[in-house]
Amino acid sequence: MNLRGTTRVLGIFGDPIAHSLSPAMQNAAFGKAGIDAVYVPFHVLPGGLADAVAGLRALNILGVNVTVPHKEAVLPLLDEIDPEARLIGAVNTIVNREGRLCGYNTDGLGFLRSLAEDLQFQPAGKRVLLLGAGGACRAAVVALARAGAAALSIANRTPERGEKLVREFSDHFNGTRFAACGLEPAVLDRMAADADLVVNTAVVGLKGDSFAYFPWTALPPAACLYDMVYGPGGTALVSEGRRRGMRCADGLGMLAGQGEEAFRLWTGSLPPSGVMKNRLLAEMKPLPEP
């Protein structure tokens, strides 16, 4: 990497941040595209977020991604919020336009791109069951509804959280039917019975844990499964789905897709095709035995 006075700086704010794969995939894309830029991780504690955001202007940093726990807290610190990010209630990408900081959320577009590339799935007219009702679910709901999904059902351990999302988004997307439920087996079976796609938006599976109950036998034979969690060798949920003959994908494609869209916002063009995902796949390969 040839750093010089003309090199533009980008990065990612998070706490923790050492685990992030974004520097690897973004730097691979900048190198392949021949763009004079470098992407670095910034460990930003919650108490330092306002100073870190102000530093983007002071240091003329071109832009950053924003990850947990800052996606919601960063909104009032920016000069402009894209309507999509405002609706989701979270920002994951900041662009510095001559000192004016503009916030976007590229998670939804990354999710849709991964559905198309990894599952050959188009949401228009389809019925989707979402597991979880947190921030990842909000991004997925907005993306799916904008893409024309016929019905979205949100299943969560605390049904009230899903019901809150239903009330909020029903007013914005009249063409999509919304429903919410808990995780009781009988209820979940009923919701899964006509689903074209099941999406895990919860953190279950992040550390190798599994769902207490998953409606495998209730799902239609042609249903697809998308797990926003990712890891080396895939997730337990995806492995079980594939064993059952389902079309499945984990969240690695979404990570690449949202990164590609952030790259476009910063540079004005998409990165070379496949570079980010291929770098992520290389990073995910298990280390050889000593």
CATH 3.40.50.720 boundaries in the chain: 108-250
CATH 3.40.50.10860 boundaries in the chain: 8-105+258-284
Q: Is 228 annotated as a binding residue?
A: yes
Per-residue pLDDT reduced to its tens digit, 96-141: 999 999 999 999 999 999 999 999 999 999 999 999 999 999 999 9
Q: Is 251 annotated as a binding residue?
A: yes
Q: Is 157 annotated as a binding residue?
A: yes
User: Choosing from 32, 71, 207, 285, which is the catalytic residue?
Assistant: 71
Q: If 0-12 CB within 10 Å is exposed, 13-18 middle and 19+ buried, where does residue 211 land?
A: middle
Fold of 108-250: Rossmann fold (3.40.50)
pTM of the complete model = 0.92
Write down the CATH number for the domain with range 8-105+258-284: 3.40.50.10860
Residue 71 annotated among the catalytic residues of the structure = yes
What does pLDDT average to over the chain? 93
Q: Is 258 annotated as a binding residue?
A: yes
Per-residue pLDDT reduced to its tens digit, 198-219: 999 987 644 555 667 899 999 9
Whole-number Å distance between alpha carbons of 265 and 27: 16
pLDDT score recorded for residue 206 = 47
pLDDT score recorded for residue 278 = 95
Per-residue pLDDT reduced to its tens digit, 34-93: 999 999 999 999 999 999 999 999 999 999 999 999 999 999 999 999 999 999 999 999
Q: Is 153 annotated as a binding residue?
A: no
Region 135-158 average pLDDT: 96
Q: Is 97 annotated as a binding residue?
A: no
Residue 290 has pLDDT above 50, yes or no: no
Render the chain in DSSP notation, one character per residue. Answer: ----TT-EEEEEEESS-TT--HHHHHHHHHHHHT--EEEEEEE--GGGHHHHHHHHHHTT--EEEE-TT-TTTTGGGSSEE-HHHHHHT---EEEEETTEEEEE--HHHHHHHHHHHHH----TT-EEEEE--SHHHHHHHHHHHHTT-SEEEEE-SSHHHHHHHHHHHHTT-TTSEEEEE---HHHHHHHHTT-SEEEE-SSTTTTS---S---GGGS-TT-EEEES---TT--HHHHHHHHTT-EEEETHHHHHHHHHHHHHHHHSSPPSTTHHHHHHHHHHSPPPP-
Q: Is 134 annotated as a binding residue?
A: yes
In SS3 terms, 137-170 reads as HHHHHHHHHHCCCCEEEEECCCHHHHHHHHHHHH
Q: What is the band of 288 on the pLDDT scale with cuts at 50, 70, 90?
A: very low
